[in-house]
Amino acid sequence: MEENENSKDWVDRIWRAFSSMKMGLALLGIIALVSGIGTLIPQSEQDPEKAKAVGQLWQTLGLTHLFSTVWFRLLLGLLCINLIVCSLQRFRGIYRQTFKLSPPSNLARVPQKNRRVVKGEGTVLRESVQEFLKQKGYRFMFSDQSDQWSFTAIKRRFGNWGSFITHLSFVVLVLGALLGSVLGFKGYFMEGAGKTFPIQGIELSKGNVSETFSVRINSAEDRLLPNGERDNWYTDMSILENGQEVARKTLSVNHPFNYKGITFYQANFANGAHFTADMNGQKTPVVLREQGQNYFQAPGTELYLIATTIMKTSSSQKAGVLYQVYKGTGAEPVQSGQLTSGQTIDVQGTYRLTFDGTAGFTGLQVKKDPGVVIIWLGCALLVGGLLLAFYWQPVVISGILIPENGTQGTLTVGALSGKATSSSHDALEQFVNYVAN
C-alpha cells in the first residue's frame, strides 16, 4: 500500500513538473541558446571543412553537428512532453467553455468586471433577450428556477481553441523535426554522364540511407541561351530497381525530382570529358572532371590520367581537352598534351586512349525528410490557432433575473471576451440598449 502511494506521489510530482509553465519557458530558453551557438559554430552539414577546423573538444560535444545530437533531440522531446501535458490540463476547461456553458445560478456567477443592470417586466425582458441573441447569432441556454430565470450565450465559441491549437502546433512541429532528424538523411554527389551508382554510395552529411536502388546519370548539360546567357543546368537521371529503370526525369535548378520520398535537387555543374581506354583489347569508358578533380588509374599500373582543361565546342570546331598523365607519386606529369574529339593516343605504351567528346558532371543534393508533411501540418495549425486567438475571440453574455414586486424584476447581466475587453464592453452595451428599449 505504501509503495503504491509512493509511486503515485512520484507520478504526481513528474506531472506537476511537466505541467509547469516555468519549465516550458526554461526549455525554450535553453533551446534558443543552444540554437544560437549552432549559428556561430560551423556545422558539418553546411560547411564540412570549417567544421573540421573547430577544436576537438567542441566536436566531441557535438557542437559541429548540434541539431542531430542525442542531447538536442532530448531537449526537443522534453519540450514536446511539456507542451502536451500543459495542453491536456487545459483541454477540459476549454471544452466546457465551448460546449458546456451553463446559466448562472446566482449573482456571484455573473461576470463582475463588465456588468450592467436592467429593470422591467420579467416576461418582456426574457422575450427581448431571446430576440437579441437570435439576431446577433449567439448560441444560448435558459434556466428557470421557481420565481427567477437565468441565461448564458456565446458567440464565436471556437475562438476558445485558438491558444490550444497554437500550443498543439508547436508539438506537431517538434515531432516533425524529430521524425525528419531520426529517419531522414541529407547527402550530395557529383557524377558524370553515363555513371550508375547505388544511392547508399552518396556522401552523407547526416542520417543513414536504408534504400537500395541505384541512380544512373543519363546526361548532364549546361545550356546557354542564344544571347550567351545561361539558361539552366539540366540532369537527365534514372532510378534503377534490380537493374530495371523504374523512374526517369530531367531535373534542373528549382525543378527537383522526387522518388519514394527522396528528393534530388540540382546544386551545381562541372565540365568533363569522355574517353575510351583500350587496354589489350578491353575497352573501358572513362569520364573525367575538368581541373583534375578526379582521375583514371589504368588497371595494374601506376599511371594516373587527369583532364586539366575542356575546350568549348562551336559549330566549326571540334571539342578539345588538355590532359596529363602522372606515374606513382611523381609531382611532374610523364605525358601531357591536347586531344580533339575522335583523336586516339598511346599512353606510355600501356594502353590507347580515345577522346570521345565533352561530358557534363552534375552535382545533386539528395534529401529525405519524412517529417516535412508533419511540419507543414504544424505550420497550418499555428496559423489557424493564431487567427482564432486574435481574430475570433469568443464573447459570452450571461445574466440572471431576480423578481421584484410580482411581475417586475431586475436583470443583472455581464459579458466576457477573453483579453479583448473592448469586445465584451461593446457587446454588453448593444445588449442593454436593445433589451432596455
434 is written with which cell numbers? 436593445
Does 66 fall in a domain?
A: yes
Exposed, middle or buried by CB within 10 Å (0-12, 13-18, 19+), for 323?
buried
Q: Return the beta strands (E) in 87-195 as ranges.
A: 115-121, 139-145, 148-155, 185-192
Distances (CA, A) of 427 to 134, 325, 392, 400: 14, 88, 14, 17
> What pLDDT is recorded for position 2?
52
Q: Residue 125's domain spans which residues?
A: 101-156+393-436
Phi, psi of 350 (to 5 degrees): -105, -45
Q: How far apart are CA 216 and CA 239, in angstroms?
A: 6
Place of cell 452595451: 429
Does 344 fall in a domain?
A: yes
Claim to verify: residue 189 and residue 251 sit in the same structural domain:
yes
Q: How far apart are CA 290 and CA 279, in angstroms?
A: 23
Residue 96: Cβ within 10 Å count: 12
* Residues forming a β-bridge with 334: none
Does 151 fall in a domain?
A: yes
Do 353 and 347 meet the contact criterion of CB atoms below 8 Å apart? yes
Claim to verify: residue 300 and residue 252 sit in the same structural domain:
yes
Claim to verify: residue 270 and residue 208 sit in the same structural domain:
yes
Does 260 fall in a domain?
A: yes
Distances (CA, A) of 219 to 27, 48, 281, 360, 428: 50, 28, 27, 7, 72
State the CATH number of the domain containing residue 133: 3.30.160.110
Claim to verify: residue 21 and residue 75 sit in the same structural domain:
yes
Does 111 fall in a domain?
A: yes
Place of cell 502511494: 5
Average pLDDT of each block of 10 consecutive residues along the chain (437 residues)? 61 78 84 83 72 75 77 86 86 89 90 90 91 94 87 92 91 87 88 90 86 93 86 94 94 94 93 92 90 90 93 69 93 93 93 91 92 92 92 92 87 84 86 88
322 is written with which cell numbers? 588538355
> What pLDDT is recorded for position 420?
65
Q: Return the beta strands (E) in 105-253 as ranges.
A: 115-121, 139-145, 148-155, 185-192, 196-198, 203-207, 214-224, 230-241, 244-252
> What pLDDT is recorded for position 3?
55
Claim to verify: residue 232 and residue 84 sit in the same structural domain:
no
Claim to verify: residue 306 and residue 205 sit in the same structural domain:
yes
Claim to verify: residue 357 and residue 218 sit in the same structural domain:
yes
Distances (CA, A) of 259 to 275, 366, 436: 31, 11, 68
> What pLDDT is recorded for position 32?
86
Q: How far apart are CA 68 and CA 21, in angstroms?
A: 26
Does 388 fall in a domain?
A: no
Predicted structure pTM score: 0.69
Q: How many domains does the chain have?
A: 3
Does 44 fall in a domain?
A: yes
> What pLDDT is recorded for position 6?
58
285 is written with which cell numbers? 569508358
Q: How far apart are CA 309 and CA 322, in angstroms?
A: 5
Give me the amino acid identity at 277.
Answer: A
